[in-house]
Amino acid sequence: MALLRGLWKLLVGIKDLLVLIVMLLFFGLLFAALSIAPNNVIPGSGALVVDLAGTLVEQPSDTDPFTLLTGNQPVSRETRLRDLERALGAASTSGNIKAIVIDLDGFLGGEQAVIAAAGNAVDKARAAGKPVFAYATGYSDDGYQLASHATEIWLNPLGGVILTGPGGSRLYYKGLMDKLGITAKIYRVGTFKSAVEPYMRSDQSPEAREADQLLANSLWANWQADVAKARPRAKLANYIAQPATAIAAAGGRMSSAALQTGLVDKLGDRNAFNSRIAAIAGEDSSEGINAFKTIPLHAWVTAHPEKTSGAQIGVLTVAGEIVDGEAPSGTAGGGTISQLLLDELAHKRIKALVVRIDSPGGSVLAAENIRSAILQAKGLGLPVVVSMGGVAASGGYWIATPADRIIADPATITGSIGVFGIIPTFEGSLTKLGLSADGVKTTGLSGEPDIFKGTSPQFDALMQGTVEDIYRRFTMMVAQSRKLPITRVREIAEGRVWSGSSARQIGLIDRYGSLDDAVAEAAKLAKLDPKKVRPLYIEKPLSTWKHMLTEVLGSDEQSDEAMRQGGIWNNMAGRPERILLRALADAQQVLMGPAIQARCLVCTSGQTPRPGDRESANKLLAWATH
């Protein structure tokens, strides 16, 4: 029987392999056919439709094609910020684009600074005379921030506007770890390095609470200022302060309250909205009643590639968690990114370097690997400008220290200059199970870290000393880079997180601006005319076959449509799961990641999904229960 079972498993494995090969061949032929066919034909004129179902990101994640094939993990759509900015820029000067439609049903959000950058691109299109229309069944903070920049904001009569502001609860694991007998050996520097607090406390420390509250207040003030500037007629403050009063005054209808307070311009369903766009962009009778001539975002982006003439300014993107070794796009692999830059420097074709950082940090060694490559660029005489995206904190700020200039957004989250180490041990777990551990040593560090008996005082002293040494180096790098006294750096460091607006006041950044501003600044430092340069993105291109599989399998039209139909209600219903997944994924990265890390866990919203969250959460649960 054992032989038969083994033979059966072998046959099933061969069958699965053959099916996979057939599917790859099929989709390869399909992709080739679609590539030859004119599948991206753009109508002569119409409305540019920006469908933002999913998230708006700095750099999309390189989806694992085998995950797509097996269907084991849902894939959230991601729209790249620079593609959106380029599309809106091209639309603003094109006579073929009669209107711009921003579809925010199914929008799951993005970092505040990223959304602000998209809003600036919308403002430029409006300034060029293009009408911009936003539509959603309901708006939350992220969606409304972007929609506020539109010419007209439409809201489904059954929907509403729910503005909550930053903040919320975090999971604290100390009580659970005590029950399981798991001890977290923590080594840290920084009063405000709260990434490790969930493993040593059951609640937030007063220092962390004070710092987090100041950060949330600053981000909320920036959000309100952005929205108020984009839509001054909205009675924003009153609606935020007393939403129930506004809804009661509108007869209990949330949509009517949004209309009466000027948060939206029109109430109407899809049919009414489509009819409004058709009157401007032209009707498309082939698609049915009220349909309008549509130009999809992806087709428009393909038809308007990035600039190819002019002196080249290198743009190196560091996006996502910083990890050791190789990593796909959307995760900042220290080995991958440093090698990409070194390979580019060998070509000797870029005149300056811009480092675009959108990362909460991670591995210290990986961050130093990337920083070392940037220093190679400086050694060749290239000016270096850092452009901060939504987050450039902890290890992300470590990478920024070689810069000649640092440019950020007021809503950028940065700082978190601190270091920590964490090692879980299981002596308590063994006791609960009636197990014990014993052995011999030849030195005080033999068998360390001893996860069965607990770490020794000698090992603890070694780890704490290493963390303190790295922290001293971190603060010295910041002091030299920012030309600040070391005593001042230590005052603003200690792991404390700052918004871009606060960071400018204390000297951690130089000025506000976008990626385009950073490229222009780099050109000036290289003594070049900013109008005669172009960015050369130093990144790993997506392979053709991965692109093919992602295009064919990566979008779930039924899921997207379900999200549109449910609007804000589906979004809010899914928020608890996203927050829980993010919390478990963060715990997995801390407990099972590098022993010494420069990471900020309070820097990113737990409401915005990340592609690897579910896998990381499953790893943690499997680790804790086996």
| 340-364 pLDDT per residue, tens | 999 999 999 999 999 999 999 999 9
Helix 334-347 with 364-379: angle, nearest 10 deg:
10
- Read off the tokens for 152: 């007209």
CA atoms lying within 13 Å on the CB side of residue 290:
8
- Per the model's pLDDT, the better-predicted residue between 307 and 24 turns out to be 307
Arithmetic mean of pLDDT, 254-267: 97
pLDDT at 407 over 70: yes
pLDDT surpasses 50 at 560: no
**626 burial type by CB count under 10 A (0-12 exposed, 13-18 middle, 19+ buried):** exposed
SS3 11: helix
- pLDDT in the model for residue 367: 97
Whether 174 is a known active-site residue: answer: no
pLDDT for residue 30: 55
Q: What is the DSSP letter of 76?
A: -
Q: How confident is the model at residue 557 (pLDDT cuts 50, 70, 90)?
A: very low
DSSP 45: S
Per-residue pLDDT band for 244 (boundaries 50, 70, 90) equals: very high
280/296 Cα distance (integer angstroms) = 17
Q: Which of 83-97, 226-240, 286-300, 583-597 has the lowest mean pLDDT?
A: 583-597
Smallest Cα–Cα separation from 479: which of 412, 411, 397?
397
Residue 188 has φ and ψ, to the nearest 5°, of -150, 160
Mean pLDDT of 522-543: 91
The pLDDT value given to residue 617: 52
Compute CA distances 260 → 60, 64, 126, 138, 180, whole Å.
38, 47, 24, 16, 54
pLDDT of residue 37: 42
Closest of 501, 604, 591, 594 to residue 176, by C-alpha: 591
Q: Which residue has the higher pLDDT, 6 or 261?
A: 261
Residues of the chain with pLDDT > 70, as a percent, come to 78
- Percent of the chain residues topping a pLDDT of 90: 61
3-state secondary structure of 220: helix
| φ, ψ dihedrals at 324, nearest 5° | -75, 145
At residue 289, the pLDDT reads 79
**Does the active-site annotation cover 275?**
no
Instruction: For residue 82, give every residue at least 6 positions away whose Cβ sits within 8 Å of its Cβ, in sequence order, or none.
Output: 515
Q: Is the pLDDT of residue 396 over 80?
A: yes
Residue 28 neighbours by CB distance under 10 Å: 14
Q: Is 83 helix (H, G, I), strand (E, B) or coil?
A: helix
Distance CA 407, CA 104 (A): 29
State how beta strands 497-499 and 413-415 pair.
antiparallel
Residue whose C-alpha is closest to residue 516's, from 342, 385, 338, 403? 385
Closest Cα to residue 139, out of 267, 22, 11, 6?
A: 267
pTM: 0.85
Provide the 10 A C-beta neighbour count for residue 155.
29
pLDDT at 273 over 60: yes
Between 285 and 322, the more confident residue is 322
Q: What is the mean pLDDT of residues 560-571?
A: 53
pLDDT digits (tens, 9 = 90+) for 481-521: 999 999 999 999 988 999 999 999 999 999 999 999 999 99
How many residues does this entry show for the chain?
A: 626
Angstrom distance (rounded) from CA 478 to CA 509: 11
pLDDT at residue 251 tops 90: yes
Token pair for residue 315? Answer: 């743009």
Q: What confidence tens digit (pLDDT) does each residue in 587-617 have?
A: 566 666 676 778 787 776 555 655 555 665 5
Q: What is the dihedral of CA 236, 240, 241, 244, to 10 degrees?
A: 120
Q: What is the CA radius of gyration of the chain?
A: 26
Cα of 339 vs its chain's centroid, Å = 23
Coil, helix or strand at residue 250: coil
- Range with the poorest average pLDDT among 168-172, 345-349, 416-420: 168-172
How is residue 72 written in tokens?
């084991």
User: In Å, how far from its chain's centre is CA 64?
Assistant: 18
At 549, the pLDDT band (50, 70, 90 cuts) reads low
Q: Do the Cβ atoms of 318 and 402 come closer than 8 Å?
A: no
| HSE value, Cβ hemisphere, 13 Å, CA-based, for 347 | 13
Kindly write down the DSSP assignment for every residue of 488-538, as one continuous string.
HHHHH-TT-EEEHHHHHHHTS-SEE--HHHHHHHHHHHTT--GGGEEEEEE
Give me the pLDDT at residue 290, please.
Answer: 78
Res. 190: pLDDT tops 60: yes
**HSE-CB of 118 using CA atoms within 13 angstroms:** 29
Task: Answer whether 345's CB lies under 8 Å from 376's CB.
Answer: yes
Q: Which CATH architecture has domain 46-167+221-303?
A: Alpha-Beta Complex (3.90)
What is the 3-state secondary structure of 287-348?
HCCCCECEEEHHHHHHHCCCCCCCEEEEEEEEECCEECCCCCCCCEEHHHHHHHHHHHHHHC
Please report the beta strands in 181-310, taking only residues with DSSP state E, as ranges in sequence order: 183-189, 266-267, 294-296
Helix (H/G/I), strand (E/B), else coil: 477: helix
Question: Is 80 exceeded by the pLDDT of residue 453?
Answer: yes
- Among 56-65, 390-399, 401-410, the least confident range: 56-65
191-218 pLDDT tens trace:
766 678 888 889 988 888 888 999 999 9
Question: Tokens 């904001």, residue?
Answer: 153
pLDDT, tens only, 69-101:
555 554 568 999 999 999 999 999 999 999 999
Q: How far apart (Å, rounded) are the C-alpha atoms in residues 355 and 517?
A: 12
Mean confidence (pLDDT) of the chain:
85
* Count of C-beta atoms within a 10 Å radius of residue 161: 27
H helix runs in 352-394, sequence order: 364-379
In the set 98, 193, 293, 351, the catalytic residue is 193
Write out the two tokens for 507.
């000297």
Q: How far is C-alpha 68 from the geometric centre of its chain's CA atoms?
A: 21
Q: In angstroms, rounded to a whole number, what is the distance separating the alpha carbons of residues 368 and 218?
A: 30
How many Cβ atoms sit within 10 Å of the Cβ of residue 26? 11
Residue of 394, 416, 499, 501 marked catalytic: 394
Give the pLDDT confidence score for residue 38 in this predicted structure: 43
Q: pLDDT band for 62, please (50, 70, 90 cuts).
A: confident
- If pLDDT is split at 50, 70 and 90, which confidence band does 562 have? very low
Backbone angles phi, psi at 361, to 5 degrees: 100, -165
Q: What is the mean pLDDT of residues 293-312?
A: 92
Q: What is the pLDDT of residue 580?
A: 58
Give the residue-averaged pLDDT of 122-138.
Answer: 97
